[in-house]
């Protein structure tokens, strides 16, 4: 019978390259890939080169110039042929030009409103960091003016106005405003995210066409980001919504957030289980989870106050509520 060996200690002078918490997870080949959302994010974040942008600007100016000449020639020709027809054509063209001007003014107003919310966000972060009570009061006052015409926030505005003078700390004042003004808006934004996640999941699972799910994911995300901006006071127009979507998608691609992360582990597990039955349904679950992540990023961009008093929305919880009816569970 051999004598058991005594334990030995092997010293390792160099530090280990990775700790237990930093080791990447073992890849699972059965997990579905969120191809539709990755393609939609890449498409939305695409930004042309400077030369290409100047080309399209010059082309647009040329088309507008030629269209103006064609309108002028048409109106003058009609006036020469029949003054009544020429006057009617001139009135119609003037109406179209007026409507185009009003649309342009609305887009500029939407961009200005988005910029206003962004300035409030930056000012709130700076005032909290510097413990600037005067700056915090200015931000909260601007926040009250921003939501002055929102009847669903009337009770929160009254409570904030009653308790704000009692606050002697910038952080406490911001927490009070976040609790009474932004809590209903956060709930509405999460409902929009859940609806978009359901739409993307269903489109991926049920639409057999190759690019249809990508188009559905892109349209659903555009609509979701626009609605979130409107909820928080942005009211993004067409151009503003596209710029906001591009900035959100660019941020997600830069941070690798369109890949699997800690907040998607539960959804990926669910997608893996569903993919045992149907690959398309598994991809639908994961694409819905990534849509929820895009929505959370949009909340952080559009929200006038950073998250502090209220917890940041969790993707897993939103996806669970969004897909509960599709996997046989109630809310």
3 state SS for 141-159: HHHHHHCCCCHHHHHHHHH
Residue 290: the pLDDT is 81
**For residue 62, pLDDT beyond 60:** yes
Residue 148 CA neighbour count, 13 Å, CB half: 6
pLDDT bin (cut points 50, 70, 90) of residue 276 is very low
Residue 215: the pLDDT is 76
**For residue 101, pLDDT beyond 80:** yes
Residue 9: the pLDDT is 61
**For residue 41, pLDDT beyond 80:** no
Say which range, 9-23, 95-109, 118-132, 274-288, has the weakest mean pLDDT: 9-23
269 class by beta-carbon count within 10 Å (0-12 exposed, 13-18 middle, 19+ buried): middle
pLDDT bin (cut points 50, 70, 90) of residue 16 is low
**For residue 38, pLDDT beyond 60:** no
- Which residues contact residue 77 at a Cβ distance below 8 angstroms, ignoring those fewer than 6 apart? 86
Residue 117: the pLDDT is 82
Q: What percent of the chain has pLDDT over 70?
A: 67
Residue 277: the pLDDT is 44
* Residue with more model confidence, 326 or 162: 162
Query: What's the average model confidence in pLDDT over 178-182?
Result: 88
Number of CB atoms found within 10 A of residue 234's CB? 29
Residue 221: the pLDDT is 82
pLDDT bin (cut points 50, 70, 90) of residue 204 is confident
> What's the mean pLDDT when you consider all of the chain?
74
Rg (C-alpha) for the chain, rounded Å, is 27
- Which residues contact residue 18 at a Cβ distance below 8 angstroms, ignoring those fewer than 6 apart? none
- Which residues contact residue 142 at a Cβ distance below 8 angstroms, ignoring those fewer than 6 apart? 120
């Amino acid at each position: 019978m051999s004598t058991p060996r005594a334990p030995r200690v092997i010293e390792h002078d160099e530090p280990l390259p990775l700790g237990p918490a930093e080791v990447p997870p073992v890849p699972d080949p059965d997990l579905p890939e969120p191809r539709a959302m990755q393609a939609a994010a890449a498409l939305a974040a695409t930004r042309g080169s400077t030369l290409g942008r100047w080309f399209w600007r010059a082309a647009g100016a040329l088309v507008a110039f030629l269209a103006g000449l064609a309108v002028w020639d048409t109106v003058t020709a009609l006036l020469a042929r029949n003054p009544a027809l020429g006057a009617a054509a001139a009135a119609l063209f003037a109406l179209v030009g007026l409507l185009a001007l009003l649309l342009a003014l609305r887009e500029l107003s939407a961009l200005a409103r988005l910029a206003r919310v962004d300035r409030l966000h930056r000012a709130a972060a700076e005032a909290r960091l510097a413990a600037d009570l005067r700056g915090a009061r200015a931000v909260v006052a601007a926040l009250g003016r921003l939501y002055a015409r929102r009847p669903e926030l009337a009770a929160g505005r009254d409570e904030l106005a009653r308790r704000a003078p009692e606050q002697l700390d910038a952080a406490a004042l911001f927490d009070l405003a976040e609790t009474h003004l932004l809590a209903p808006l956060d709930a509405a934004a999460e409902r929009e995210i859940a609806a978009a996640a359901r739409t993307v999941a269903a489109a991926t699972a049920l639409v057999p066409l190759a690019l249809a799910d990508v188009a559905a994911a892109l349209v659903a995300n555009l609509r979701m980001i626009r609605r979130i901006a409107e909820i928080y006071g942005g009211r993004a127009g067409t151009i503003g919504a596209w710029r906001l979507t591009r900035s959100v998608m660019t941020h997600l691609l830069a941070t690798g957030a369109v890949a699997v992360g800690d907040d998607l582990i539960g959804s990926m597990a669910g997608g893996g289980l569903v993919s045992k039955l149907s690959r398309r349904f598994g991809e639908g679950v994961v694409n819905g989870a990534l849509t929820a992540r895009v929505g959370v990023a949009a909340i952080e961009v559009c929200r006038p106050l950073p998250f502090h008093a209220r917890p940041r929305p969790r993707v897993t919880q939103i996806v669970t509520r969004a897909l509960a009816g599709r996997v046989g569970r109630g809310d």
